Structure 1
Amino acid sequence: MKVLVVGGGGREHALCWAISRSPLLGRLWCAPGNAGIAEVADCAPIAADDVDGLVRFCGEQGVDFVVVGPEQPLVLGLVDRLQAAGIRAFGPTAKAAELEGSKGFMKDVLDKCGVPTAAYGRFTDPEAAKAFIRKMGAPIVVKADGLAAGKGVLICMSVEEAEIAINQVMVEKAFGDAGTEVVVEEFLDGEEASFFAISDGTRAVALVGAQDHKRAFDGDQGPNTGGMGTYSPAPVLTPELEAEVMRTCIDPVVRGMAAEGRPFTGVLFAGLMILPGPEGRPVPKVLEFNARFGDPECQVLMKRLKSDLLAALLAASEGRLDEVELEWHEDAALCVVMAADGYPGSYRKGTEIRGLEAAAQVEEVTVFHAGTARAEDGRILATGGRVLGVTAHARTIIDAQRQAYTAVDLIDWPEGFCRRDIGWRAIERG
């Protein structure tokens, strides 16, 4: 098969790495790709949100199957356009991708389907949002309704802070049009986890769980980011809890979206908060749904996957998930994100990264590229905020952590930084 992966980050590098191993594969492209992806796929210089350009490329190259990585082309309707052109694709249509494209729509779906989630309100008027905040009290969460590159969620510890957040999002347009509407919701205090399932529109198959680290610095300090590292399995997600998440969170949404005339085909990524329930029994609540693989969660999932990823994604796109039974390595995987100094704020681009070959020689380590380019003279340059995902696969979380940081220490990039405590929750649990 001729396959195109859309995107140019760490998630897409991990997807290309896994797809490249499939016996079904004939040729693999990635658009736009990056320096690391170029080692396993041919990179096409087409932006991930250039829907016309991507559809045209597929027609010219005779692409059989497209795997869409990021959320923006999904919300823009890339899958709809590909299907109209007779090209198979893995990912939701624009109507189904609204689960991620609009937090308000997503919360309404959860409410209608009876999925456990935080109490909330939707607002297009700043004063009405502030009145709701004063009624609810703090801490409280303010979310821009639309896509905001993972930065549109503000956790506010006081009513005054929340009212300032409303002004920033709705009046000052800190996130542009994504903040025209906001969702204000109850603050849930528990342990976060990420849960993934693949859906073919009528049924879903669970993947393995993961936990990520959103704060920029050790000890979960500093600003929220798109993710500074992750690991799988997540000890908090026991087999019993994973079964409950499928029963109470995933399956109702798959049925509900189909009933709405928006059948969801693709990856359902549930951001969960695990709360203490009666008699100490954990209770999962959905914080958000995303319509694609997480980044950096995808990196650890692909390291643990034993099955043929391309075959599974193709089956989902064709409504054949009943034929799929995924196999996973029992071992652990852990990913340390290396980011440019200053991230998630302003950061320098174009700094040189050395030592990648040495890092890749560490046992069971793969260095996934998230924001890199190769200069004409062959040097690898940093082009993004999150730049590398140093990912290790080992018997236990602590072994994977040791291997990942061994590789990190071989990378010579003075202008970068990383957290040194990825995996601490799992290790603390023993």
Structure 2
Amino acid sequence: MKNNIKFFIICISLAFGVTSCETDFDNPNAATEDQTFNSREGIFAAAVGLQQLYSTTGLRWIVETPAVTTREGGITTTFQNMIELEDGGTSLPNFNSNVQGLWSTMLRVIKIAEDIEASASDIELEAGTQSGLIAHAKLFKAMAIGSLAQNYEQVVVQTSNNNDAVFVSRTEGFQTAITLLSEAAAQLSANAASSEFINGITLGNLDLPNTIAAMSARYNLFAGNYDAAISAANSVDLSSTSIFAYDSQNLNPIWARVIQNDAPNFKPRDNFGLPAEFVFDAADGRLAFYLVALDETNQNGLPIEDISGFFDESTEPIPVYLPDEMNLIIAEANLRSGTPNLGAATTALNEVLTDTDDPFGVNADVDAYAGPNTAADLLNEVYKNRRAELFLTGVSLEDSRRFGRPEPSGAAMNYAEERNRNFYPYPDLERNSNPNTPADPSI
């Protein structure tokens, strides 16, 4: 199976290219798409490859790119792509490799997921294996679309073989992701994932029903569907965990960028990259969990620390989501609803602040909230705790915009700004091949 998976990944890299269109290569030795997706072995290899692509290359771009933009991380390299990201502003080029990598990898994930979903029903499989494959594909397609919608103003939600994929608003992107997650949940409700699927694909690392609900909560919050976000978050079993697992052939992608070969590309910022107005209790366990004191600055004078948490070992697993994200979603959604429920929001927030038994060990373990009992003050506290709890999980740019943090000026090399972009420009690889590519955002 391992050789099949490796061969499959090579094939999809060639067959699907790096934009929303496909490029045909005449390779007589490559498996055809029909051969890949029309057998049990082929579709299992595709599903494993999908998960592997997202959790390695994909997660690198998902985490690293907005981390530098929003000051979660400070660069420690002279590679031009990282310099461009930290400089930011309107001059960030369309050919920046992070801008291109995030876009193209998510589109590759979407394409593979579409092919798995289209083919699974045509192969003779156990009902629970078929439903598991389809739900798994829908989940990863939803997460890929969601990752695009967090970082680009308009997104592609359906790939095209004809270089003409349609762009939709990021809000519609989130709604598409939510629909996919609802469909995935319905698949599993009708036929629970089989042992064959679990043993062959997720290996017990991914709790599909809870992960689907958690992502539904996340994207409903981002889309402004607050009641739905609360309902989905409440349905997640907070004792359950889902992880991306790594091994010697597939390394933890953040470790590889920050620690490998003692040649870091970036390091975490102190205070989780937040300005001094956000003060953490010195006893907050998340400081020691994620950060190791360094007392240094990077080449642009930004204070940096060494990294810990889920990123200090080459094969350390990374959570797909953190349980307390659900409490923070409940708190924020209650505050943003038409009739804010300050009591429910405070209760959920305190679950995070006083946590001592997080399954992953991310425990603030500090006193309950004692600040002003206003929606504005509570939202500020939620933002602060999202930054600490969800550090380097890829949501920082979405959060910075949603919480109305100061707008970037558009000037490059203004390192005092909390974020240096609102959205990323569309990669020139997409623009040069797809006539539907929109104009770049102003900043």
Taking structure 2 as the reference length, the TM-score comes to 0.27
Q: By percentage of residues, which structure has more helix?
A: 2
Taking structure 1 as the reference length, the TM-score comes to 0.28
Q: By percentage of residues, which structure has more strand?
A: 1
Q: Which has the higher contact order (CA 8 A, sep 6+)?
A: 2
